[in-house]
Structure 1
Amino acid sequence: MTIADRLDRLRGRTPAGTGTGQSATLDDRLRRARGRQGAQVARLSPTPDALAASLGGQVVDGVVQVSRRWLPPAREPFGDDGLDGLPEVLGCGDADWVYLDTETTGLSGGVGTAVFMVGVARRDRLGGLQVRQFVLAGFTAEDAMLRQLVQWIGPHAVVVSYNGRCFDGPLLQARMRLHRVLPDLGGLRQLDLMYTVRRAFRAHWPDCRLQTAERRLLGYVRRDDLPGSEAPAAWHDWLRRGDACMLADVARHNLDDVVTLARLHQRLPGIYAGRHADAVDEGAIGRAWWQAGFDGRALAVWEGGLPRLDERAGLQLAAIYRRAGDWPRAESLWLRLARAGSRSAACELSKYYEHRVRDPRRALRFADGCADSDRTVRLARLRRKLLGGPQLSLWSPTSVANAMK
């Protein structure tokens, strides 16, 4: 091609000897450029209607609402029985349980972080879950979304979440204060299942993330799941380009989270009642019952896991026996703990043998396990009682074994 031909092409002319279809004119190229620019402008102007069509929802006052119904697997009974069988909510069996999970514009939870998607669910009378997802197509509808959320949840619900105590709840409350949404969610009772799961399994699992819990307790493994950490990028893609593909993946991820919350809530009361085949921390579970004032439930859990109890739980179980006047069981447990090296159990044995059994000789064997402030006085008193008697060796795990013979 000659220089003249190139100049003609740049001017939009057709070089001699060529067909008209081989080189586009300048006008053609300008028209195509305008078309691409128009398409780009359209992509950069996302609308609630477009997002609703992409997610299969409807627009209500500028907010996209997606309604779904989830049915449990046939092998998994899914009713209200025992949903209050946890230390935090015992006695709330007839509660209006609402499961909540949020997707946010950032993961830090700071002032600039907003909620662009909220998934909530409650059980229906037919054994399924009614799920509602509230999605923002833009920031202007945030006020309306928060008000719709409060209305859907209602004033008497118990809100169930996973890390909602530290993240979802405070973030929603902050956004509601910003928009002066009243009533808000602050007065509702909360159940954060992350603490329920962590208490029972952190000694046995590498982590207690929601997907770890659903895999180990429900046998469910997600396929092609979009990580929650990518949700902010999906939201920004929608705002910049009107691309809802990743946002649809976020909605599926959010739906899985909400359903998993409901299924875990169904699974955990049996574990906290001692009916489980998994490795759990019975000591921590029993302590939760004990601290909540349910000694009977703590007793059942601790006795079921007696061979595996840690020192703290063992001492608490022995204290329950002592308060009930079951001294033989208390003594047996103290001896077991003292043999394992528990100085606190040795001190309890010293008190028991001195004041209940009236055997200062045996009491002296275990007195050295008492705290410094008590040990000196106790040793002196017991030695006075045994004045003139044989010298005795003080407490040690070996001496406990000999005392048990």
Structure 2
Amino acid sequence: MKQPDANDELQRRLRSLGDHLTPRSPSGGITTAADKSPSRYHRLAVAVGGELRTLPNGAICVVGRTCRWGERIGNAILSAPTAQPEIRLASFQGEETAETLLPAELLFFDCETTSLGGAGSVAFLVGCGFVTSAGFTVRQYLLPDYSDEAALLEAVLAEFQPHRTLVSFNGVTFDAPILRDRLIVNRVARELPCRRHIDLLPASRRLFRRRLADCRLTTLEQELFSFFREDDIPGYLVPSVYFDWLHTENTAQLAAVVRHNYWDILSMYLLLMHINRVFVEEGAPLSHTEDVYSLSRVYGRRGRHEKVVALLDEVRQAQQVTPEVTWFHSLALKRSGDWTEAVAAWKELLGTGTRESVWAAIELAKYCEHRTRSYHEALQYARLALRNRSVPSSLRQAVAHRVSRLERKLTACLSSK
């Protein structure tokens, strides 16, 4: 009896795998755009409140919704961008720039995917938001089946234009790479055309991470706008809802997924306008000390020490602040040339017993040695810093060297008298 050849066995397994992965029509043939059951797709469109569009490469569901200007979302009112004088690019970047943005050029986008990344991850729902005269419009593209992916990508690609600035939440590291990969795999395009890409997650962390437990979009909605989503589906369940549709044609939870994506995009607009207002009004909308301190650190990195002093002067006069805030304030005072206030802040820190008290003692030693030439006081401050057990070994060596130098200077001064 002839034994099965290893090659034949391999071919058999490959055919079996192909049968499993390739979509088939009820008659057994490969599914194409022409022979897909229209009733299945129409049911999907009706379930999510959208319309079915048939394109050359397949069919997609499109859902459109506009939130009117003046509508209330939590304690926030959706206001047209004309209500603010300008949208500054510097509000969303670490560095300073004078460039401003036109609201009509902004395209907000968010993807719901089949996994958290990787080569096989597919964006089955892509939402795009933009400003119109009536309000903020969100247009969403839903994938009925994997074989329609090229059609969805071509429709989405029409939203992305070279003159537009993309706005996302963690989209630089997640959404955009997945879309770009799927465009390449489907031979639709090689890049996402855009002028630039603003990611609101880093901008949010710069301002709010010191106060909030995390900077997830839902957390920011609740803390900044008092907006709590009703009947929202958790993000980790979204892929399973889509798989359920593919396997059983169950549409029960798909409307919730579309609504989840809609709120994500609408929240991005609110967040962008709020962050922009913080910088345009130079911190006026902020009511928490941690947020004001975070803003002052942004100004500090940009070399705007006068703004750091102004912000933290007001905070320290109104309430008790942490040694960390006082220390940062003292450095801004020093860099702006206000030595009197800087010295007062350092002396205030000496009694805190924190790491900032060590740095304050070192700064006072420097000040007394180089500015007032009071070597005796400088030596006292340097020894105070050296006695603190929390001083790192690398810094301890530098402080010990300072103590030795001051002892020599003091001895020389005494012997010359």
Structure-1 separation of matches of 2:289 and 2:375: 42
- Mapping of residues 6-405 of structure 1, within 5 Å: 47-54=40-47, 55-61=49-55, 62-71=59-68, 72-73=70-71, 76=77, 77-79=79-81, 81=84, 82-84=86-88, 86-88=91-93, 91-95=98-102, 96-106=105-115, 108-126=116-134, 128-182=135-189, 184-185=191-192, 188-271=195-278, 273-275=282-284, 276-278=286-288, 280-306=290-316, 310-311=322-323, 313-341=325-353, 342-368=357-383, 369=385, 371-387=395-411
Distance apart, 1:366 and its partner CA: 1.2
Question: Structure 1: which 5+ runs fail to align?
Answer: 1-36, 391-405
Q: Partner of 1:238: helix, strand, or coil? A: helix
User: What amino acid maps onto 1:322 in structure 2?
Assistant: K
Structure-2 separation of matches of 1:155 and 1:227: 33
Distance apart, 1:308 and its partner CA: 5.8
Which 4+ stretches in 1 moved above 6 angstroms? Answer: 42-46
Deviates more, 1:81-90 or 1:359-368: 81-90
Q: Deviations over 1:57-76 (max 9, x none)?
A: 24152222222211242662
Matched-pair contact (CA < 8 Å) for 1:48–1:137: yes
**TM-score, normalised to structure 2's length?**
0.73
Matched-pair contact (CA < 8 Å) for 1:160–1:191: yes
Structure-2 separation of matches of 1:321 and 1:198: 25
Structure-1 separation of matches of 2:220 and 2:178: 24
User: What amino acid maps onto 1:338 in structure 2?
Assistant: L
Q: Deviations over 1:176-216 (max 9, x none)?
A: 23234435237653333233333433343333322221112
Structure-1 separation of matches of 2:187 and 2:325: 47
Q: Residues 361 and 299 from structure 1, CA distance in 2 versus in 1: closer, same or farther, beyond 3 angstroms?
A: same
Distance apart, 1:311 and its partner CA: 4.8
**TM-score, normalised to structure 1's length?**
0.75
User: What amino acid maps onto 2:163 in structure 1?
Assistant: H
Distance apart, 1:389 and its partner CA: 8.7
Distance apart, 1:312 and its partner CA: 5.1
Distance apart, 1:116 and its partner CA: 0.2
Identity in percent: 29
Question: Structure 2: which 5+ runs fail to align?
Answer: 1-25, 27-34, 387-394
Structure-1 separation of matches of 2:298 and 2:364: 26
Structure-1 separation of matches of 2:119 and 2:298: 34
Match of 2:16 in 1: none
Matched-pair contact (CA < 8 Å) for 2:309–2:333: no
CA RMSD of aligned residues (A): 3.2
Q: Deviations over 1:90-124 (max 9, x none)?
A: 54432422222111112x31222211001110122
User: What amino acid maps onto 1:372 in structure 2?
Assistant: R
Structure-2 separation of matches of 1:309 and 1:97: 38
